[in-house]
A and B are shown apart, each in its own frame.
Chain A
Amino acid sequence: MNDLAVHLGLLVLISIAIVTLGAFFSHQEDDDAKKDIPKRLAIFLLGCVVVAAIMFVIEHTGASLD
């Protein structure tokens, strides 16, 4: 099994749960919450990509043991 694919799949699953619950918490009406989920999910995943990129850069520069 491809390890990276599994981790990415789990990340997407957990992201959907976090974003959906966040949208439900922010909007009392179901229709408003449903409409807001795609945008929230895109922002959440984009944020994860930015954090991963920063960690990747730091891992190979400032925090590198080499």
Chain B
Amino acid sequence: MPSTRPTKRSGDPNVAAILTWFLPGAGHLYLGRTLSGVVGFAVVWGLYWIGLELSDGMGFEFLHKELRGPFAPALAPELGNLSGLLWQSSTFGFGHGFPRVFPETVHIGVLCTACSGILNIFLMIKAHSDARRLEEPGLGQLPVSLVCFISWLVPGGGHVAQDRRMRGVVVFVMLTGLLVLGTWLCEGSNLDRERHFYYWGGQLLGGLPVIGLEQVFGHPEVRHEIPYADAGLVLACLAGLLNVLAILDVYTWGEKRALEGVEGSGREETAHGTKEASA
């Protein structure tokens, strides 16, 4: 009986993920999934391009002069989209050597470029999972990459999507609580990339709550000493970093369930993806 499963070409999952890191969508093109590749490229690179336009490419000029070096932007969230980061570094770098006024839309612009980097990480996860054919319909769960993305957007959201509500609620309360407490201690001054270039990147891993708080309370003028600003900054940044652990937990759970689904569907996983088990 002929197979009813998709005939899309499988490839090495690691190659697919690395290609996606180099150029969004390239991993899917390598896997023969042209539409996914084109859409992935358009979304991720489109967001980066919008960010560059809004910020006039001045995002890395937030870095203090003593911190500027060839690898300084490599700790920024933009690293997730390597081609975007390299394009920005080579085209705009740290400015033209003379002071310029930041455009009014610079903060929303750098948010777009940073989110583009983070989005591409989930596209890498998708390419890796697609190569292993872990995201096909019929495996009885939401795609792993989608659940990881939800987990970034809303801490604990991925757990809830996986029907692990108690764990999801605990993660949400803890991480969002830490973020809110940190922001309160800092009086909102933590949510400003110009002031805290690297800490801001760490906080952004907390997803929508961080983005929302920044739009409401971020970028305040600081005219007095804030007693617990340092402690608040650490708390808020740690909330974002701990969300990475939550995302990894979601990924591990989803991968395990997907592999169980693969075994149940009569396929087997190999070093180069999955294949139909021989009769």
Contacts and interface: CB of A to CB of B under 8 A. Distances in A.
Contacts of B242: 17-18, 21
A24 interface: yes
Interface in A1-56: 6-7, 10, 13-14, 16-18, 20-22, 24-25, 28, 30, 33
Interface residues on B, range: 20 to 34
Contact of A10 (B167, B170, B231, B248): B231
Interface in B238-275: 238-239, 242, 245-246, 248-249, 252-253, 256
Contacts of A21: 171, 174, 242, 245-246
Interface residues of A, number: 16
B102 interface: no
Given A14-B238, A18-B242, A30-B166, A25 B231 contact: no
B139 to A, nearest CB: 18
A24 B167 CA distance: 8
Contacts of A13: 178, 181, 235
Contacts of A22: 245
Contacts of B178: 13-14, 17
Interface in B54-113: none
Secondary structure of the B contact surface, majority rule: helix
Contacts of B170: 20, 24
B245 A30 contact: no
A18 B231 contact: no
Contact of A30 (B164, B174, B235, B248): B164
A25 B166 contact: no
Main secondary structure of the interface of A (DSSP, over half): helix
User: Which of A16, A21, A25 is most buried by chain B, counting CB atoms within 10 A of its CB?
Assistant: A21
B175 interface: yes
A24 B166 contact: no
A50 B134 CA distance: 45
Interface string B157-181: 0000000101100110011001001
Nearest to A6: B228
Contacts of A20: 170, 174
A14 B139 CA distance: 38
A27 B166 CA distance: 14
A28 B235 CA distance: 26
A21 B181 CA distance: 18
B124 to A, nearest CB: 20
B171 A24 contact: yes
Contacts of A25: 245-246, 248-249
Nearest to B234: A14
Given A10-B235, A17-B178, A20-B170, A28 B245 contact: no
Contact of A7 (B171, B231, B248): B231
Nearest to A17: B174
A25 B149 CA distance: 17
A59 B246 CA distance: 36
Contacts of A10: 228, 231, 235
Interface of A: 6-7, 10, 13-14, 16-18, 20-22, 24-25, 28, 30, 33
6 contacts: A6-B228, A17-B175, A17-B242, A20-B170, A28-B256, A30-B167
